[in-house]
Structure 1
Amino acid sequence: MRLPIELEIGLRYTRSKRRKAVGKRDGFLSFISGISTAGIALGVASLIVVLSVMNGFQKEVRDRMLSVLSHVEITSPEGLANWESLAAKVATQPHVIGVSPIVSSQGLLTRENVMRGVAIRGVSPADEGKVSDLPKQFVSGNIDDLKPGAFGVALGAQLASIVGARMGDRINLIVPESDLTPAGSMPRMRTLQVVGIVDSGHYEYDSSLAIMHWKDAAALLRLHDPSGLRVKVDDMQRAPDIANELATVVPQALWVTDWSRTNRNWFAAVQTEKKMMFIILTLIIAVAAFNLVSTLVMTVNEKQADIAILRTMGASPGMIQRIFLVQGLAIGLLGSLAGVALGLLIALNIDVIVPTIEAIFRVRFLPREVYFISELPSDVRAGDVLTVGLMAFGLSVLATLYPSRRAAKVQPAEALRYE
């Protein structure tokens, strides 16, 4: 079957095959056409890679945060009296899959001449596995080594490195509560033994977390009960809605918060950055589309004699316009598909490409001391890929309209005057 004449001629112009006598000129047009295609492809690939990396970064940090943090927390500044009955009640609510007591506070960790501010977290070793991945993150020791009354502590891996503490070492912990002595009010200090090292993969928490049995933490803070309950739900994306439902079944004096509120500023900043990067990189595709306009305008000027001959053979202005529409859309479609393929190739193998570049140039793109994670993640989403591909093709369509209309307005007599 023969193709429609507009499609056949448009695709022939895209390949730019003509007589040898004018081969140099056609070679230049073919080069410009290839540059336009490559520009669209690079813009599409860049946008897909950047969006995939930002999605992966957000997902990785969120998952690592939630391996340490709670999906939902129910807290009280004065402690939870009768917390066992409240925990049993919360555990029976829909979508709740785990409940555990917690004591949270701030403190100052000292060892020899090193001092470091820490987040004190009192947990229940028997129940912690129901609400977090903390028991799996012990690289030394075990969460069951946190026994009530023994005043053992598990430190984040980075925190232990900073203060120079190892398994079995003794460290001093100063808490905000004070003791009244004849010399006045003195900060309360307790000597603890390191019984575990935890590595969550999240630098912020690994460099500041001190984990104790909740009863030991409560004793240091002069509390008789836990300060709150940690709740794990079956769908962390629905945590805000589930938290609102839990707020209706617990006493009104208690605070119910979810992970999205606790880290709202960080996630809002990531979303804003993602939108801005999308806009900025879209301009790259727009520039490539402008190059497509210039390519087609040059092609129209070069093919005026051909256009005039086609018109004298009975071709209508609409047919001429469709011929150059086919050429522009072919370039746009080829560039978009090539960009999607290249972007997917890079995004799906980013875990291999980035370490190779780091090894060759001896650089580190994500230092653990600066960023939340130390490896560049990637999360390719079909919606993003489809949006980028369609947007690039749409811009190519817009870029093709003016040159094709200009070609349709070529007058045969004027075009053939000097031929």
Structure 2
Amino acid sequence: MYKYLLCWRYLRTRYIALASIISVTLGVATMIVVNSVMAGFADKMRDRLHGVLADVIVESNSLEGFTNSDEVMARIIDLAKDDIAAMAPTMETPGILKFRIGSESQTHPVQIIGVNPEQRAKTGDFAEFLFDDKGNQIPPSFEVPEALRAQSPAGMRLKEVEAETGAEKSDFDRATEEYLRQQMIEQMPKHGAIIGYAIGTYHRGKGLPDFYLAPPGTKIGLFFPKHGKTPEAGNDVFTVVGYFKSGMSEYDSTHVYVPLEQLQQTRLLVDPEGRGAVNQIQIKVQPGVDIDKLADKIGLALESLRPMYFRVSTWEQKQGPLLAAVAIEQSILNILLFMIIAVAGFGILAIFSMIVVEKTRDIGILKALGASTSGIRNIFLGYGLLLGAVGSGVGMVGGLLFVRYINEIEKLLSYVLKHKVFDDSVYYFDRIPTLVEPRTVVAIVLGALFIAVVASIWPAQRAAKMHPVKALRFE
């Protein structure tokens, strides 16, 4: 019983130990906050990467792709019919986008992706990333609404002409209206396009709304390589009907989605039988299916169809370097932050060594009264465990509370420092994402307790080995 009483007394009266408690508290709280924020960002990033890409992607080695996509998809269905939820053929090619802003033109290097929007929406979160200029979600479609076309200069003039002429129209009136309808198509092409949000907007930050450089109805030109023995530049025009906003700048600043059939025809990728070429097939699998094993099976099946032509990979393999880089950064940061708790361990070691020297006579009295060697040792080990428990407990509560109110704290710091602490121009997040993983929190707390106990071993062992007579002769 005396061991617990002494541990509690030392904790209440030895204020120098407060420094060690604070060090453990700060270390545990910092590790919990940093891990939660990084896990939140990583989870958001993985979710959005997976939303942009399907579970499994079949690609051709050639940019021109293959025209027998029906045969390829049939082979995949025969191989794993019960595992496949949906498939979408895709044509992807690099290109250049150009549109006018007043009297000036803007040019962007882009990745042009021809898709059937309804099919593509079934293979991932494509539909969830489609928005209009008011921030509302729009259906996956490239149709140019008549209401949008009516907002063009020719469309507004056509309204005026129709209102002026009424029901009785002369040949001149009908010719004028037909001319204006042709001008509407010229000003707003009949084929729509969904462009990356970062391409069509200017992000001002500081809580200000984004400025739309290419609002819906903007006419854009796309330039890309045509199919042929000698590659030639091809071009086509489209009307902006929406924006692709995934929150990943890599995609939002490069992706342009257009109708698959139109891209195939413009790139001269339609064979004499009328089959259009694609260079990707996006595959969504059923829940619970091992996508790595499925990708290997599909790769072997397509290898027999056309050797050394198809590449089959999962979405994680496609983004492997990026995901691995995030994991490595998180591991290195954890090691560096854990050193803060290690510093607290050295503080406990120094404080306990001082206590052993200071209490040498008291240790001798306890031994003379019958205290065992293990009893003396357990006093200091229990004291170290108690310091670690208090420090890690307070740090855990403080860290979890910080994570819970991190966005409110960010707003307060931004107000005090007069600049944004969390720059939302890097990520399109309105809040700092966090994810508390219970296993990580438990591992941090146990690690802090372990360091506190380990730091107590040497002073405890030194006190336990003291001879009672020599200890009483200390003074």
Distance of 2:234 and 2:312 partners within structure 1: 30
The answer for the alignment partner of 1:340 in structure 2 is 396
Equivalences for 1:260-339 in 2 at 5 Å? 260-339=316-395
- Where 2:201 maps in the other structure, the secondary structure is helix
Change (3 A) 1:372 1:381: same
The answer for the alignment partner of 1:177 in structure 2 is 226
In the TM superposition, residue 150 of structure 1 has moved relative to its aligned partner by 3.9
Change (3 A) 1:72 1:212: same
The answer for the alignment partner of 1:245 in structure 2 is 297
In the TM superposition, residue 267 of structure 1 has moved relative to its aligned partner by 1.1
- Where 1:126 maps in the other structure, the secondary structure is helix
Select which of 31, 39, 44 maps to 1:55: 39
Pairwise CA RMSD? 2.7
CA deviations 1:299-358 (Å, max 9, x no partner) are: 222322321221221212222111111111111122222222222222343344334433
Equivalences for 1:9-408 in 2 at 5 Å? 9-16=6-13, 30-76=14-60, 77=62, 78-91=64-77, 92-112=80-100, 113-140=105-132, 142-146=139-143, 150-161=190-201, 164-177=213-226, 187-223=233-269, 224-234=276-286, 238-250=290-302, 251=305, 252=307, 253-370=309-426, 375-408=431-464
Distance of 1:366 and 1:246 partners within structure 2: 43
Distance of 1:79 and 1:257 partners within structure 2: 17
Distance of 2:294 and 2:32 partners within structure 1: 33
User: Which range is displaced more, 345-354 or 120-129?
Assistant: 345-354
CA deviations 1:28-67 (Å, max 9, x no partner) are: xx22111111111111111122122221111111111222
Distance of 1:40 and 1:234 partners within structure 2: 46
Return 5+ residue gaps in structure 1 as ranges: 17-29
In the TM superposition, residue 111 of structure 1 has moved relative to its aligned partner by 1.5
- Where 2:66 maps in the other structure, the secondary structure is coil
Query: Match of 1:83, as an amino acid?
Result: S
- Where 1:93 maps in the other structure, the secondary structure is helix
User: Which range is displaced more, 295-304 or 366-375?
Assistant: 366-375
- Where 1:132 maps in the other structure, the secondary structure is coil
Distance of 2:5 and 2:410 partners within structure 1: 43
- Where 1:110 maps in the other structure, the secondary structure is strand
User: Which range is displaced more, 227-236 or 167-176?
Assistant: 227-236
Distance of 2:441 and 2:224 partners within structure 1: 51
Change (3 A) 1:197 1:405: same
Change (3 A) 1:344 1:154: same
Query: Match of 2:444, as an amino acid?
Result: V
In the TM superposition, residue 94 of structure 1 has moved relative to its aligned partner by 4.2
Change (3 A) 1:375 1:65: farther
Change (3 A) 1:288 1:375: same
In the TM superposition, residue 245 of structure 1 has moved relative to its aligned partner by 2.5
CA contact (8 A) 1:203 1:373 kept: no
In the TM superposition, residue 238 of structure 1 has moved relative to its aligned partner by 4.2
User: Which range is displaced more, 269-278 or 94-103?
Assistant: 94-103
Distance of 1:33 and 1:234 partners within structure 2: 57
Equivalences for 1:399-418 in 2 at 5 Å? 399-417=455-473
CA contact (8 A) 1:152 1:195 kept: yes
Query: Match of 1:294, as an amino acid?
Result: A
CA contact (8 A) 1:179 1:188 kept: no
Size of the alignment, in residue pairs? 399
Change (3 A) 1:238 1:53: farther
Query: Match of 2:68, as an amino acid?
Result: N
In the TM superposition, residue 214 of structure 1 has moved relative to its aligned partner by 1.0
Return 5+ residue gaps in structure 2 as ranges: 133-137, 145-188, 203-211, 270-275
Distance of 2:420 and 2:267 partners within structure 1: 42
CA contact (8 A) 2:121 2:140 kept: no
In the TM superposition, residue 99 of structure 1 has moved relative to its aligned partner by 1.0
Distance of 1:42 and 1:394 partners within structure 2: 16
In the TM superposition, residue 95 of structure 1 has moved relative to its aligned partner by 3.5
- Where 1:41 maps in the other structure, the secondary structure is helix
